[in-house]
Structure 1
Amino acid sequence: MALVFRWLIRIVSGLLVLGVIGVAMVYYLASQSLPDYDATHETRGITEPVEIVRNNANIPHIFGRNDSDVFFGLGYAHAQDRLWQMIMMRRTVQGRLSEVFGSRTLKVDELMRRLDLYRLAQKAVPEQDKDTLAALEAYASGVNAYLSRINADALGRGAPEFFVFSNEISPWRPADSIAVLKLMGVQLSGQIEDEVLRARVSLSLPEGRVEDLLPNMPGSGVAALPDYAALMQNTPSRFASLRNRSIRPDFWPSPRRGLSGASNAWAAAPDRSAAGASLLANDPHLGLTAPTLWYLARLELSTGGVIGGTIPGMPIMMVGRSDEFAWGVTSSYLDDQDLFIEELNPDAPGEVRTADGFAPLKSRSTIINVKDQAPVTIGLQWSENGPILPGDMYDLATVTPPGHVAALSWTLLTDRDRSMSAGIRIMRATAITEGLAAGVDFTAPSLNLIMVDRNQIAMKVVGAMPKRHRLNQTKGRMPSLGWVAENRWDGLVPYSTNPEFLQPKGGIVGNTNNKVIERAFPRHMSYDWGDSQRVQRWTRLMQARAVHTRDSFIEAQLDTVSVTARTLLPLVGADLWFTGEAAMEGTQERARQRALTLLANWNGEMNEHMPEPLIYSAWMRALQNRLIRDELGPLAQEFPHVEPLFIERVFRDIKGAGIWCDVIQSAPKETCTDVARAALDDALLWLNENARGEQESLRWGDYHIATQDHPVLGKIPFLKYFVNIRQSTSGGDNTLLRGRTSGTGQNPFLNVHGAGYRGVYDLSDPDSSLFVISTGQSGHPLSRHYDDLGELWRRGEYTPMSLDPELARAAAVGITRLTPKPN
């Protein structure tokens, strides 16, 4: 027995030793790819020495004697810190993820091949102006110089992820950067989802009720939607309109409805600024990841220094400032996509109906290589309206009648895309007039460009706007018949007609993804907008002060008051507040009274430390589910977020919308008060099952957790605890400090979409401007800069970034010196 015991000890000890050795080896190999920021290297691709001066937040300040060398330095710095992220974005847009991840990303590759974005990016390279071509070439050389260093010095393949997924890394090319910008367009698009959903709801609801659930933005004055089934010359029974939501594969590039691009940006003219110079605040919103998409940098160009947020993979500063000029962006929600239903020729499936009869589809084949499996060949097809998309993408089968296919028209799908050149010119601008002129070349994604110089402020919608016929059958709100001439695009609207706000009388301009202009179709921008709530709070904060300061802009950027809560609670609880007799402790009535008492004394602040935001959010979620579930059935899951305008219409009984409160399947006629009370009980039951403690001790932040997860390693057991960044956060779906909830899963209140970047610029003292990103600069999980800025971001704090070279050098924690390598 003693012998057995001794051998057991030896075996266990041996396994522990092997485990420790294994962990040490993994750590050693992974740490090899940590960059050395304080080094000197000879490299080809530059003509003069380049310095990359990094401050204590790992923000690179890049100095060179000419612009090409500076862009080379930016490419080098991006590759040092975000190589995995860059390669994954490139693989996504190329449709080559399956070479790494196998069949689970095959549908993503198929989508990107059908959109053909990478080929379009390659063809767009010669369309760029001379300065942009030089920047693209130099940037690519910088990336490739670091790739060469990885190979020459055995730097752990450049990132720890490449030990797990060890595919070859091809050199970076100028087309790759343009492709990354096109990928941003995919990630900011939401019109396809909206068109399909509106058609599906139209097939499921009686006439007049679609507008309740998917209302036009107030003031739009839109005519009623056409009957979709009749438009498609079919009956509702011919469509699978109630089919369950399709499951999206990993890395699906376009967002679910409600999770497309968002943002805040606002500016104050000198006469509305306490210091007498323009102010600008900007916080673009995207899906939260680790690392964040954004990367802070400073470039010393021949036109002057610029500093702000870049996106790894591109040689442009998307948002930021110089000494004389600052700019920010928000998603414009311009309707630049239309779906067309194409009728197949029953006698020749490769043909579709056109206004002049049947015409053949353009077609070619493409091969997708799949890890550990045989290659997959798919046939690509295009009609005159655009690429044909199969029915299992975007749930298109649910709105496509038999004998038809769906095609997509999109301004992004062009090889004459000069958006990169526009971005370079905006970055070099020194005045608003130059920024406005640069916007003419911007194609997609469409953005609101908010600009300030020392004397003026402006906002301009940039991006190509389709020219639609006034007799378009659906006005772009639902799929339309592809062979009807009036439905097709007739080129693009001139850039000069894009909405523009230059030096407004009130001295304030801004956007929260709200509707920006009231124009009748077809001169309108969109029927779908990203916000009808935050803008109300923003307007009040801007009007509350005669003059603004940098600090008042920060206060607005971090504001957590929900106008939605302040509006909906008095409506929904009108007949519930303090009604009935006191109830005994432990009863359902007592729990309801306690919740109502808390909410009655609440000011709508979505603070992470308070219980009221959680109770309110659970109540509204349960309420909407009760209102729509019996009418929509499984289709109700397509509305995972509370629709404030819908609930307000129901409880104000606008155009008879109060009918939603009556449960169709029940004999009694329920009132809205009945539904509100039952929904509150549902919410309290959910809280009892999922929350710990009394109502008064609940914390919104325990559920509204920012999920900044690594897209790949974050799903692997054990590793996810090291690479995922989770933080308790304030804010919510409809606050200026926006933290969009997931709306699904065991915890539907996870914060999954928010401001990955925040910047506030004061041109009276430019070096007092502040910046922050939501994680850290490095994409390496072992780096101390992987999440060091994330805590500042969570607390609503910022880091300064100066254009003073001496300040940058004085605070340097490392200087990478690149010198030309002799031929």
Structure 2
Amino acid sequence: MAFVFRWLLRLTTGLLVLAFLAFLLIYYFASRSLPDYNADHQVAGLSAPLEIVRDNANVPHIFGETDSDVFFGLGYAHAQDRLWQMMMLRRTAQGRLSELFGERTLNIDKLIRRLDLYGVARQSVEVQDERTMAALKAYAAGVNARMTQVNEQALGRGAPEFFLFSNQIAPWQPADSIAIIKLMSLQLSAHLEEEVLRARTSLILPQERLLDILPDAPGDGIAAMPSYSSIMPGLPQYSEAADQPFDPLSPFLARPFAGASNVWAADPSRAAAGGTLLANDPHLGFTAPAIWYLARVELEAGGVIGGTIPGVPVILVGRTKNLGWGLTTAYADDQDVYLEELNPTSPNEYRTPDGFKPFRTRPSIINVKDADQVTIDLRWTENGPVLPGSHYGLGTIIRQGYVTSLAWTALSPADTSLSAGMALMRSNSIIEGMEATKDYIAPVQNLVLADQNSIALKTIGAIPKRNPLHQTQGRLPSPGWVVTNRWQGRLDYSLNPEVIAPDGGILGNTNNKVTDRPFPEHVSFFYPDSQRILRWRKLMQDRKVHTRESFIEAQLDTVSNTAVTLLSLVGADLWFTGEAAPDGTPERRRQDALALLGNWNGEMNEHMPEPLLYAAWLRALQDRLIQDELGPLTREFTHVEPLFIERVYRDVDGAAVWCDVVQSSPIETCAEMAQLALDDALVWIDETYGTTLESLRWGNAHEATHDHPVLGDTPGLSWFVNIRQSTSGGDNTLLRGRTIGTGPDPFLNVHGAAFRGVYDFADPDSSVFIISTGQSGHPLSRYYDDLGQLWRRGEYIPMSLDPDLARAAAVGVTVLTPR
């Protein structure tokens, strides 16, 4: 027995030693790619020595002799910290993910190839101005210099992920940077999905009920639209849509996650310190690392500091000494879905105003890991690329003998958006900034500017020029062979909405409607925010003058006007009715929930139970209201639409009819539906959390999911690479934390402000910013998640252009000299 025990002990000890040695070996190879920020390197491609000073938050401050050298340094810094992220963004834009991930990414590759994002990016390289071309080439040289260094010095392949996915890495090219902008345009566009959903819903509902569940943005300028069944007759009411393409880097390519943002500014008359103020927090899907990367570049025109996207040599949001700028997604209607009729005798032809014409076609080969190559035929019409019915549910809105094509401004082969961004970085006033962005194409954005003296808002980007006689006004798919449905170029830049030096001294945008102009100069019928703007207006009006701190408070505000309004309507007949029910009964639990909500001010605080009760109740209520009318289409409405609930409970245009269950004999009232939905929510909460109502925490349900896009679902590795944080806020708060809306954890926070910045031109170096994870994409780096806790607590780091301050707290200085 002792003999067996000794050998078991020896075997166990040996296995533990081997496991420890294996861990050390893995750690050694993985840590080889950790950058040494205190180093001198000789590199090819520089004209003179270059310094990259890393401040104590690992923000690189790049100083060089020429602008080209500075952009070289930015490319080098991006590659040091985010090489894996850059390569995945490029692969996504090229439609080459399946070479690494096999068949699970084949759908997304097919979609990207059909859109030909990389093809139009390569064509757009030729139209950039001279300065931008020089910057693109220098930036690419900096990225490639880092990759050469990784190969020559065996620096762990540049990132740990490359040990798991070991395909060769091609050198960086100028087209790669433009392709990433195209990819961001895809993530920030929602009108394709909006048109398809509206068409599918209109096949089920009459016009007046369609406007309940898919309401128009409040304000004037809304016109009626035809029934989709009159455009494409003979379609079934319900048709199952194919699954959305899987994208490991941009998992939120769907209508509810098409981008959002907040931006506001105050001129000196409304600023306590007498200088302009600007605050901006763009909203995107959360990932680890965050899509944003903080950087400062010292150009010949002066220093520029702010948020970049690795792979793109532009400060997208930030400031110079004299000018600050922020962005929100404008939701301009820059996409149209066209119905293309096939020639019955020749399916390779489609109908045009001049008769049938052949598609422009090209084969494309997709290499798939552990599977055979897949060849797809790419087709284009005069309106744009043909998309198959397997994407975006397009197959549900066409009959046999038709296909769909997409017109989209981002598919321009002469896209000068990057040149516009470069020009903006060299601007010194709001007038110069507005002029610099006149050649910006896509994605359409609201640009808010603040210089030393004034503020302005300008919608930048190409907005399609449509015929006033367009059949659907771009709100529904339309026949592509009808001349009046086709685009007639783009609106003149002067027609893009703008506000300069507003009378009240404050302006802002939360993705709300920006103009009441009627079609066809309307910009859009669809805006995702009708709620955050109400809270913003109150906060701005509550103070005669503002400070940097008051702008920060507004960015971090968690009060939901939506919750206060809807609860007063939905629960109007439920509060304080009847005697107290016995403990332990469903009635008592309902009364307890109503008592908590009745004393709640709408603050979506992570430590409180009320936000979870409210969110679960409204989610259950909307499902009950729409399920009998929409059937299987209910699953497309993953988030509560506040205007819908308000219309129903105010009975606007007879909308209270939604409360009656069509299939039942009795006529249900809205109060009954509210009570049933509250019971549903309490049952779900009990099954999910199993605790007293007072012990619930919104933050437990509303975790921010900064997950690694590829390794985040891998057992064991997910613990190292994912960053999860309890967070406040919600779908309709200024501190926006968009919930996922589906699955067993529908309130996970998956989309929000991964960058925040506040700029004070009374004292520019007191400006601050933050990102939601850390600067490094390396899970073993101390800079992988160090900024995440500051972000969660609502804290910021200094945004200074003072080189002495950067050097005083530097964690490293990298010196690059010409080889």
**Bin of the TM-score, shorter chain as denominator length:** over 0.9
Q: Which amino acid in the other structure matches residue 127 of structure 1?
A: V
- Alignment check: 8 A CA contact 1:611 1:695 kept: yes
Deviation at 1:643, TM superposition (A): 0.4
Equivalent residue for 2:290, pick from 292, 314, 318: 292
Distance 1:200 1:213 in 2: 12
Equivalent residue for 1:507, pick from 492, 498, 505: 505
Deviation at 1:247, TM superposition (A): 4.7
Gaps of 5+ in 2: none
Residue in 1 that maps onto 2:90 = 90
**Equivalences for residues 416-435 of structure 1 within 5 A:** 416-435=414-433
- Alignment check: 8 A CA contact 1:244 1:634 kept: no
What secondary structure, in the 3-state scheme, does the structure 2 residue paired with 1:378 have? Answer: strand
* Of 553-562 and 11-20, the range deviating more from structure 2: 11-20
Runs of 4+ with deviation above 6 angstroms: none
Deviation at 1:12, TM superposition (A): 2.2
* Of 685-694 and 481-490, the range deviating more from structure 2: 685-694
Q: RMSD of the alignment, in Å?
A: 1.0
- Alignment check: 8 A CA contact 1:245 1:637 kept: no
**Equivalences for residues 144-223 of structure 1 within 5 A:** 144-223=144-223
Deviation at 1:693, TM superposition (A): 2.0
Distance 1:768 1:249 in 2: 42
Is 1:129 equivalent to 2:129 in the alignment? yes
Residue in 2 that maps onto 1:342 = 340
**Equivalences for residues 727-806 of structure 1 within 5 A:** 727-806=725-804
What secondary structure, in the 3-state scheme, does the structure 2 residue paired with 1:713 have? Answer: coil
What secondary structure, in the 3-state scheme, does the structure 1 residue paired with 2:380 have? Answer: strand
Distance 2:573 2:474 in 1: 41
Residue in 1 that maps onto 2:667 = 669
Is 1:249 equivalent to 2:251 in the alignment? no
Deviation at 1:244, TM superposition (A): 5.2
Deviation at 1:248, TM superposition (A): 3.5
**CA-to-aligned-CA distance 1:720-767 (integer Å, 9 cap, x gap):** 011000000000000000000000111100000000000000001000
Distance 2:121 2:289 in 1: 25
Distance 2:399 2:478 in 1: 12
TM-score by length of 1: 0.98
- Alignment check: 8 A CA contact 1:361 1:383 kept: yes
**Equivalences for residues 677-756 of structure 1 within 5 A:** 677-756=675-754
Residue in 1 that maps onto 2:408 = 410
- Alignment check: 8 A CA contact 2:241 2:393 kept: no
- Alignment check: 8 A CA contact 1:289 1:708 kept: yes
- The sequence identity of aligned pairs, in percent, is 64
- Alignment check: 8 A CA contact 2:708 2:721 kept: yes
Is 1:271 equivalent to 2:269 in the alignment? yes
Q: Which amino acid in the other structure matches residue 249 of structure 1?
A: F
* Of 201-210 and 435-444, the range deviating more from structure 2: 201-210
Residue in 2 that maps onto 1:398 = 396
Deviation at 1:770, TM superposition (A): 0.4
**CA-to-aligned-CA distance 1:655-705 (integer Å, 9 cap, x gap):** 110000000111111000000000000011011111142111111001100
Deviation at 1:472, TM superposition (A): 0.7
Distance 1:223 1:803 in 2: 49
**CA-to-aligned-CA distance 1:478-511 (integer Å, 9 cap, x gap):** 1011111111101111111000011111111110
Distance 2:295 2:412 in 1: 30
Residue in 1 that maps onto 2:635 = 637
What secondary structure, in the 3-state scheme, does the structure 2 residue paired with 1:286 have? Answer: strand
- Alignment check: 8 A CA contact 1:342 1:407 kept: yes
Deviation at 1:624, TM superposition (A): 0.2
- Alignment check: 8 A CA contact 2:221 2:522 kept: no
Equivalent residue for 2:479, pick from 478, 481, 499: 481
Distance 1:680 1:167 in 2: 53
What secondary structure, in the 3-state scheme, does the structure 2 residue paired with 1:493 have? Answer: coil
- Alignment check: 8 A CA contact 2:248 2:710 kept: no
Distance 2:84 2:145 in 1: 16
- Alignment check: 8 A CA contact 1:610 1:698 kept: yes
Distance 1:283 1:128 in 2: 28
Equivalent residue for 2:448, pick from 438, 447, 450: 450
What secondary structure, in the 3-state scheme, does the structure 2 residue paired with 1:565 have? Answer: helix
Residue in 2 that maps onto 1:565 = 563
Distance 1:531 1:245 in 2: 28
Distance 1:801 1:552 in 2: 17
Equivalent pairs, count: 818
Q: Which amino acid in the other structure matches residue 308 of structure 1?
A: G
Residue in 1 that maps onto 2:543 = 545
Residue in 1 that maps onto 2:115 = 115
Residue in 2 that maps onto 1:535 = 533
Is 1:462 equivalent to 2:460 in the alignment? yes
Distance 1:493 1:654 in 2: 35
Deviation at 1:819, TM superposition (A): 0.7
**CA-to-aligned-CA distance 1:341-389 (integer Å, 9 cap, x gap):** 1000010000011112111110010111111222111100001110000
Deviation at 1:252, TM superposition (A): 7.3
What secondary structure, in the 3-state scheme, does the structure 2 residue paired with 1:477 have? Answer: coil
Q: Which amino acid in the other structure matches residue 245 of structure 2?
A: R
**CA-to-aligned-CA distance 1:294-316 (integer Å, 9 cap, x gap):** 00011111111011101100110
Deviation at 1:638, TM superposition (A): 0.4
- Alignment check: 8 A CA contact 1:365 1:380 kept: yes
Q: Which amino acid in the other structure matches residue 629 of structure 1?
A: Q
Residue in 2 that maps onto 1:24 = 24
Deviation at 1:606, TM superposition (A): 0.3
Distance 1:381 1:657 in 2: 43
**CA-to-aligned-CA distance 1:134-191 (integer Å, 9 cap, x gap):** 1001100000000000000000000000000001011001111111111110111111
Q: Which amino acid in the other structure matches residue 520 of structure 1?
A: P
Deviation at 1:245, TM superposition (A): 5.8
